[in-house]
Structure 1
Amino acid sequence: MANVLNHRIDFKVVFSVAGANPNGDPLNGNRPRQTSDGYGEVSDVAIKRKLRNRLQEMGEKIFVQSQDRADDGLKSLKARADSVKELKGQKDESKYQEVACQTWFDVRAFGQVFAFDKGSSVGVRGPVSIQTARSITPIMINDMQITKSVNSKDAAGRSSDTMGMKYSIDYAVYQFNGSINVQLAEKTGFTEEDANAIHEALKTLFYNDESSARPAGSMEVLRVYWWEHKNKLGDESPAKIFRTVEIKPNEGVDVVKSTEDIDWGSADSAAKTIQCDKLDIFED
C-alpha cells in the first residue's frame, strides 16, 4: 500500500510566454488577463486544467476531463461518477468521498464537489492548492484584427466572413506558488507517489498544450522550486518561503525580453536559504 504523504511541500513555478495569449478573459473579448496595474495573470483554474491534462497523459485517472481529451467515452461528470458501481446511488458521504478519492487522481489532489439530483452534495477538500500566476513586470498586449467564417446559415446579402480580434504578448515571465497540505492529504489518501506525479507534471506543464492562441513552444517552464519539509507543518511558513524567493529582472532591465534578463542567481540562492529537508530546483 502506498504511503500517505506525511510532510508539507511548497513549490514555485516560473514560466515564460512568447508570442502567445496565456489565458484569455472571456468577459473581456478573450484579451490576456491583466490586473488593474498592468500585470498579466493566469488563473488557478487554467493552471489546474493543464495539470489535469498532463497527469492524464501520464496515465492517471482524471475526473474533470476536457471533452476533447476524454478517454473513457463519457460525456458528463455525472455519467463518469455513475460509471463507478460503488458511487451510483451511494448515500453514505464518507464512503462516497473515500471511493471517489481512490478512483480519480484529481479528486484526491484538488478536491471536488459532487452534486446530487435532490439538491444535496458531497464535497472533497484536496491537499494541493494552486495560486493565480502573475507576471513579474507589466505586460504589453498586441491586438490583431482577423476575419473568421462563422455563419452557419445562409443569409441573403450577408458575407460569410465576420471580423474578430486576436491578442498576444510578445514576451513575459510569470510565476505562481502552490502547497500540499498534509492534514488534507491524510483525508483524501494523497500519497508521496502522487506528490511526485504533481512534481513531474509541473515540469512539463505546457507539453501538448498548443493551440492557435498558444503556438507550440510559445510557453515554457523555466524553473520549478520544490521544497519538501521534515514535518506536517513545515520548517518555514509558506508566506516566508514565497516572499524570500523573488523572481525579478536584472538590475537596469525595465522590459524583460528573454530569460537572460532574469536574475536567476539571486532567486536560486534565496531558495537555498529556506530551512527544509529537501530542495529540488528544476531548470529547463
Structure 2
Amino acid sequence: MTVITNRYDFALVFDVVNGNPNGDPDAGNLPRVDPETNRGLVTDVSLKRKIRNYVDLARHAEEGFHIYVEEGAILNNKNREAYTAIRGDDLKSGKGGKLNPENDGEAKKLTDFMCRNFFDVRCFGAVMATGVNCGQVKGPVQMSFARSVEPILPLEITITRMAATNEAEKKKGAEGDDSNSRSDNRTMGRKYIVPYGLYVAHGFISAKFAERTGFSEQDLQLLFDALKNMFEHDRSAARGEMATRKLIVFKHENALGNAPAHILFDRIKIGRNIDNQIHPIDSRLDNLLPARAFSDYIVDIDRENFPAGVEILELI
C-alpha cells in the first residue's frame, strides 16, 4: 500500500435533530456546551469512536484493519499479540511496561506490528505502554472538538416507563401513595435533547507522520468514507437524527503543505439562509427564528485569490 505524500486539512459539518450529540457525564449527561457562549461541543474522542465503529463494520476482521481501542477490549492482550509475533511466547521483557533499551530494532518491530495490524493506531496513534509495552505512536490524523455555529438550547424531556422493575415496585405502585391515588407502575425518567444544532469540526492529516505509521492512500479513502457515513450506523433514540452535511477537504501539493490550516478554514463561510442569500450569523437580524433544519443555513467557500498549491475537494 502506498503511503500518502500530500498534507490534507478538512472540515466536517454535521447536524443533529432532537438528540444529544455528546453528553457530558459530569453534568448529568447534558449536551456539552461552552458556558461562555452556549455553543454546543462534541469531543474529538466521540467523533473518533464513530470512525472506529464504521471501520470495524466496513472492514471487520480484515487483515490490517483491526481496531485497537474498542469497547470491552483488554489493551494488554492486544499488545501481547505483537510480542507473540516478534518473540514467540517470550514476554519477559514485555512485562512491567519497559522495552529493552539495548534493542531499539526490536522495539521498532513491536510498534510497526501494531501500526500494520490496527487501523486506528495507524490513523490516530496510540499510547501502547500499558503494562505490555509496545511504545507509543503519534498518528497522522488529528481532530479538533466540534463546535456549533450558533448557541444551542438543551431541553430536558421527562419520559415514563409503564413496566415495573420488580415485584416490590409493582406492589408499591398498585397500593399508591394513599387511598385516593394509584401510580400505575410508572417510572419517571429524563432525557436531554438539542432541538437542532449545526456543528463544525476540523481535521488535520500529516504526510510526514503517515510515513512513520504507514497510513496509506487506501486508509485515507476509508477515513473519508467513515466521515461521510459514520452517523448512518450510529442511530439511537438518544442521538436523534445526525448526519454529515458537508465534508470539505483541502489537499496540499506536498507533504509539508502550501498554506496554514487556519487560513483555509477561514475560507469556509456558514451563514443563515434568507431568501437564498447568505447572511452572517452574528449580524443580529430582526425576527430571525431559531434554526431547525440544515436548509436554514448556507455553506459557501470563498475561492477568490485562493492560496496556490491547495486543491479544494467537496466530498459532500
Is TM > 0.5 for Structure 1 vs Structure 2? yes
Displacement of 1:268 in angstroms is 3.0
CA drift of 1:161 comes to: 6.5
Quote the Cα distance in structure 1 between the aligned partners of 2:305 and 2:244: 20
- Aligned equivalent of 1:70: none
Letter of the structure 2 residue corresponding to residue 79 of structure 1: N
Question: Residues 18, 107 of structure 1: CA spacing in aligned structure 2 closer, same or farther, 3 A cutoff?
Answer: same
CA contact (8 A) 1:244 1:271 kept: no
Q: CA RMSD in A?
A: 2.6
Partner of 1:260: 295
How big is the shift at 1:15? 0.7
Q: Which residue of 2 aligns with 1:25?
A: 24
CA 1:230 to 1:98, structure 2 compared with 1: closer, same or farther past 3 Å? same
Residue number in structure 2 paired with 1:177: 202
Question: In the alignment, is residue 228 of structure 1 matched against residue 251 of structure 2?
Answer: yes
| TM-score where L is the length of structure 1 | 0.85
Aligned to 1:4: 3
Match of 1:72? none
What are the superposed Cα offsets for residues 51-91 of structure 1, whole Å, 9 maximum, x if unpaired?
11111122032111234xxxxxxx42222332443267354
**Number of positions where the alignment pairs a residue of Structure 1 with one of Structure 2:** 270
Deviation at 1:279, TM superposition (A): 2.2
The alpha-carbon distance between structure 1 residues 137 and 193, as it changes in their structure 2 partners (threshold 3 A), is same
- Separation (CA, whole Å) in 1 of partners of 2:304 and 2:119: 29
Question: Structure 1: any 5+ residue segments left out of the alignment?
Answer: 68-74
Candidates 80, 83, 86, aligned match of 1:82 = 80
Distance 1:190 1:103 in 2: 11
Counterpart code for 1:262: Y
**Change beyond 3 A, Cα 1:16–1:274:** farther
Report sequence identity in percent: 31
Separation (CA, whole Å) in 1 of partners of 2:235 and 2:304:
31
Structure 2 counterpart of 1:168, one-letter code: I
How many angstroms apart in 1 are the aligned matches of 2:304 and 2:249?
A: 9
Distance 1:165 1:213, change over 3 A: same
State the Cα distance separating 1:126 from its structure 2 match: 0.4
Range moving further from structure 2, 218-227 or 149-158? 149-158
User: What is residue 101 of structure 1 aligned with on the other side?
Assistant: 115
**In 2, Cα distance between equivalents of 1:257 and 1:150:** 36
Distance 1:141 1:189 in 2: 42
- Which amino acid in structure 2 is aligned with residue 259 of structure 1? F
Is 2:278 the counterpart of 1:273?
no
Of the three residues 150, 156, 173, the one matched with 1:137 is 150
Q: In the TM superposition, what is the alpha-carbon distance from 1:155 to its structure 2 partner?
A: 8.0
The aligned residue for residue 117 of structure 1 is 131
> The residue matched to 1:47 in structure 2 has which SS?
helix
Relative distance call for 1:61 and 1:138 in structure 2 (3 A) is same
Greater Cα shift, 88-97 or 230-239: 88-97
| Gapped regions of structure 2 (runs ≥ 5) | 60-64, 100-105, 174-184, 274-278, 280-284
How has the CA–CA distance of structure 1 residues 140 and 7 changed in structure 2, closer, same or farther, with 3 Å as cutoff?
same
TM superposition shift of 1:164: 2.9
Bigger Rg over Cα: 2
- 2:81, 2:122 → 1: CA distance? 18
CA positional deviation for 1:256: 1.9
- Corresponding residue SS for 2:128: strand
Relative distance call for 1:271 and 1:65 in structure 2 (3 A) is: farther
Equivalent residue in structure 2 for 1:62, among 53, 57, 67: 67
Q: Aligned to 1:204, what secondary structure does the other structure show?
A: helix
- Worse overlay, 184-193 or 41-50: 184-193
Distance 1:207 1:101, change over 3 A: same
Whether the aligned pair in 1 keeps the contact of 2:250 and 2:264 (CA below 8 Å) is no
| 2:297 aligned partner, one-letter code | I
Q: Does 1:199 align with 2:224?
A: yes
Classify 1:42/1:150 alpha carbon distance in 2 versus 1 (closer, same or farther; 3 Å): farther
Note the alpha carbon deviations across 1:164-195, whole angstroms, 9 max, x for none.
Answer: 32001111100100010112111111112111
* Contact 1:32/1:40 (<8 A) preserved: yes
Look up the SS of the partner of 1:190 in the other structure: coil
Report the alpha carbon displacement of residue 254 of structure 1 after superposing the two structures with TM.
Answer: 5.6
